[in-house]
């Protein structure tokens, strides 16, 4: 998993301070477009009479409408993750860098784009739609193979946790572990009890960093910085030397400040802020995606300053001001920056400072993204081998429909997705529909399309020369 491949050294207020991030997911999407539409697409199109340049145009249209359809279906299937208002949906639609696409949505979007492009552009060239379908079938399988590498780099579309007995399964024990703090799976395997209703079968498998912290003391008393309560055996944190009783003093090179948050009547808030600042506090900003922006926040480098500051708010708290404490470590783990995976902690152990650096990793998941890459690469080989053996035009597309839907149905059984009727996921139901449609299409084509000559049949069989069109 490598969500960010590289940071370009470009700095501006609206960019990540580390530079312009180049996301692995986006790079794989771009590579898909280059390989299928720009490199391999034109020669495949030329076999069936598509004029120079038109295959590239078709590839771009299919790419754009396919991605749009894939995103729309994802947002429909996981609509509970998005805001209730239309502007929220529109804005989040373009957040492709976070992943969040469903392949079968791309099928619908691609069909719409193909129908429009064929009607407006290709129809006047008298190109056989079924020959064109056979030409693009290997391109579609290639795009799926490359695109799933992007899913793997992004850490999305993972499979179920791998049981100990399943560790010998190819790729499962090593390539199925992701950097935990950036993994999309983190919210499911590490979610707090209040969020465990969606997928309870995998919650509680691990902590979000490889260690747990002790409950904080009552607000206004003692040191509020994280105190390590327990470390998972054989975790990256344990191997790095983190131990119960360690007090976290620094996080990724910064002081683990004590954060005082407060919310309430505006008059009480206005009175609270200067008192905290007088105790050597500093107003803290929120991260862009923080959902606690209704709070006001002041940070303290010294725990004792934070305690004194909270004590000064006693009368305001008695009047209704709600005051809470946390620390920088808690903030950072909740809103971890994309592209980073290493956690460097400065701790004190029996009064002695120590530095512990490690990369928390998830439990092993079946890397279903890579399973699909391998499966689609094999399907490309099968399609090309079958090309000269076709009985009729359109049969390669039928083979693609049958092959992909069969693979996706089985691969989906290893995934963690919401289920519907008969305990099947949405993609499994669509797979059954695609498989049935492929069988019906084969019957239809056998009855309506002339049979090709026996023997090896090139894809260009029956294509009229340019001057004849």
Q: What's the confidence (pLDDT) of residue 360?
A: 93
Nearest CA to 383 among 365, 373, 369, 397? Answer: 397
Q: What's the confidence (pLDDT) of residue 228?
A: 96
- Judged by average pLDDT, the poorest of 22-36, 71-85, 134-148, 440-454 is 71-85
pLDDT of 89 above 60: yes
Indicate the pairing of strand 247-251 with strand 228-231. Answer: unpaired
Which one is predicted more confidently, 330 or 84?
330
pLDDT of 293 above 80: no
Q: What's the confidence (pLDDT) of residue 456?
A: 76
DSSP helix/strand/coil, 153: helix
Contact status, residue 192 vs residue 204, Cβ threshold 8 Å: no
For helices 24-33 and 54-77, give the axis angle rounded to 10 degrees: 140
At residue 189 the predicted structure's pLDDT band, cuts being 50, 70 and 90, is confident
d(CA 1, CA 5) in angstroms, rounded, equals: 10
Pull the structure tokens for residue 90: 């529109």
Mean pLDDT on 269-281: 95
Which of 31-35, 154-158, 167-171 reaches the highest mean pLDDT?
A: 31-35
Mean pLDDT on 378-392: 95
Pull the structure tokens for residue 65: 């409408």
DSSP helix/strand/coil, 126: coil
d(CA 456, CA 436) in angstroms, rounded, equals: 28
Q: What's the confidence (pLDDT) of residue 430?
A: 92
- Judged by average pLDDT, the poorest of 194-203, 219-228, 455-464 is 194-203
Give the torsion sign (CA, 16, 18, 22, 26).
negative
pLDDT of 19 above 70: yes
395-425 core/surface letters (b: 16 or more CB in 10 A; e: else): bbbbbbbbbbbbbbbebbebbbbeeeeeebb
Average pLDDT score over the chain: 86
d(CA 220, CA 177) in angstroms, rounded, equals: 40
The DSSP annotation for 337-369 comes to PTT---EEEEEEETTEEEEEEE--BPPPB--HH
Q: What's the confidence (pLDDT) of residue 123?
A: 84
Q: Report residue 169 CA to chain centroid gap.
A: 24
Q: What's the confidence (pLDDT) of residue 188?
A: 78
The CATH number of 207-358 is 2.30.42.10
- List the beta bridge partners of residue 405: none
Mean pLDDT on 347-375: 93
Which tens digits make up the pLDDT trace of 236-265? 999 999 999 999 999 999 999 999 999 999
pLDDT of 196 above 50: no
Nearest CA to 113 among 58, 151, 189? Answer: 58
Q: Which alpha helices (H) appear in 78-126, and where do they start and end? A: 86-93, 103-120
Whole-number percent of the chain with pLDDT over 90: 50
At residue 71 the predicted structure's pLDDT band, cuts being 50, 70 and 90, is confident
pLDDT of 1 above 80: no
Q: Sort residue 163 into left (φ over 0), alpha (ψ -120 to 50) or beta.
A: beta
d(CA 81, CA 65) in angstroms, rounded, equals: 23
Tokens 């940070």 belong to 299
At residue 86 the predicted structure's pLDDT band, cuts being 50, 70 and 90, is low
Mean pLDDT on 358-375: 92
Which tens digits make up the pLDDT trace of 319-345? 999 999 999 999 899 888 888 899 999
At residue 13 the predicted structure's pLDDT band, cuts being 50, 70 and 90, is very low
pLDDT of 18 above 50: yes
d(CA 333, CA 252) in angstroms, rounded, equals: 11
Strand order in the sheet with 296-300: 282-283, 296-300, 258-263, 322-327
Q: Which of the 8 DSSP states describes residue 80?
A: G
- List the beta bridge partners of residue 161: 365
Q: What's the confidence (pLDDT) of residue 243?
A: 95
Q: What's the confidence (pLDDT) of residue 447?
A: 95
Which one is predicted more confidently, 428 or 88?
428
Nearest CA to 302 among 244, 358, 246, 225? Answer: 225
d(CA 210, CA 361) in angstroms, rounded, equals: 8
Containing 250, the helix (H) or strand (E) segment is strand 247-251
- Spell out the domain ranges in the chain: 4-159+367-468, 207-358
């Amino acid at each position: 998993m490598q969500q960010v491949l590289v940071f370009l050294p470009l700095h501006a207020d609206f960019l990540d301070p580390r530079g312009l991030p180049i996301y692995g997911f986006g790079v794989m999407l771009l590579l898909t477009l280059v390989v299928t539409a720009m490199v391999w697409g034109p020669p495949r199109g030329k076999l069936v009479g598509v004029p120079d340049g038109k295959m590239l145009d078709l590839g771009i249209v299919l790419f754009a409408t396919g991605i749009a359809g894939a995103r729309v279906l994802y947002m429909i299937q996981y609509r509970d993750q998005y805001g209730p208002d239309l502007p929220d949906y529109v804005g989040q639609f373009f957040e492709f860098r976070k992943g969040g696409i469903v392949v079968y949505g791309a099928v619908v979007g691609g069909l719409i784009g193909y129908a429009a492009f064929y009607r407006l552009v290709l129809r006047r060239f008298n190109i056989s739609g079924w020959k064109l379908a056979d030409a693009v079938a290997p391109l579609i399988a290639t795009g799926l193979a490359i695109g799933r590498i992007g899913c793997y780099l992004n850490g999305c579309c993972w499979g179920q946790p791998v049981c100990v007995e399943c560790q010998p399964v190819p790729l499962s024990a090593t390539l199925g572990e992701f950097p935990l703090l950036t993994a999309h799976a983190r919210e499911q395997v590490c979610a707090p009890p209040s969020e465990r209703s969606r997928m309870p079968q995998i919650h509680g498998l691990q902590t979000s960093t490889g260690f747990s912290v002790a409950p904080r003391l009552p607000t206004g008393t003692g040191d509020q910085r994280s105190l390590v309560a327990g470390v998972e055996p054989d975790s990256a944190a344990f191997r790095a030397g983190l131990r119960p009783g360690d007090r976290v003093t620094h996080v990724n090179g910064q002081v683990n400040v004590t954060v005082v948050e407060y919310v309430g009547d505006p008059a009480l808030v206005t009175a609270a802020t200067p008192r905290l600042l007088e105790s050597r506090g500093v107003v803290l900003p929120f991260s862009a995606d923080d959902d606690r922006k209704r709070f006001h926040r002041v940070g303290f480098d010294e725990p004792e300053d934070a305690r004194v500051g909270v004590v000064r708010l006693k009368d305001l708290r008695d009047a209704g001001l709600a005051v809470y404490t946390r620390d920088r470590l808690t903030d950072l783990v909740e809103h971890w920056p994309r592209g980073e995976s290493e956690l460097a902690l400065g701790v004190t152990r029996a009064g002695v400072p120590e530095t512990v650096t490690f990369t928390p990793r998830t439990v092993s998941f079946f890397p279903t993204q890579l399973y699909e890459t391998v499966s689609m690469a094999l399907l490309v080989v099968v399609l090309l081998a079958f090309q000269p053996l076709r009985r009729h035009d359109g049969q390669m597309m039928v083979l693609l429909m049958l092959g992909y839907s069969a693979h996706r149905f089985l691969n989906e059984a290893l995934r963690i997705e919401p289920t519907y009727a008969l305990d099947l996921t949405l993609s499994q139901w669509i797979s059954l529909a695609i498989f049935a449609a492929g069988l019906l299409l084969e019957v239809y084509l056998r009855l309506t399309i002339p049979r090709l000559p026996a023997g090896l049949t090139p894809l260009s069989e029956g294509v009229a020369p340019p001057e004849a069109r």
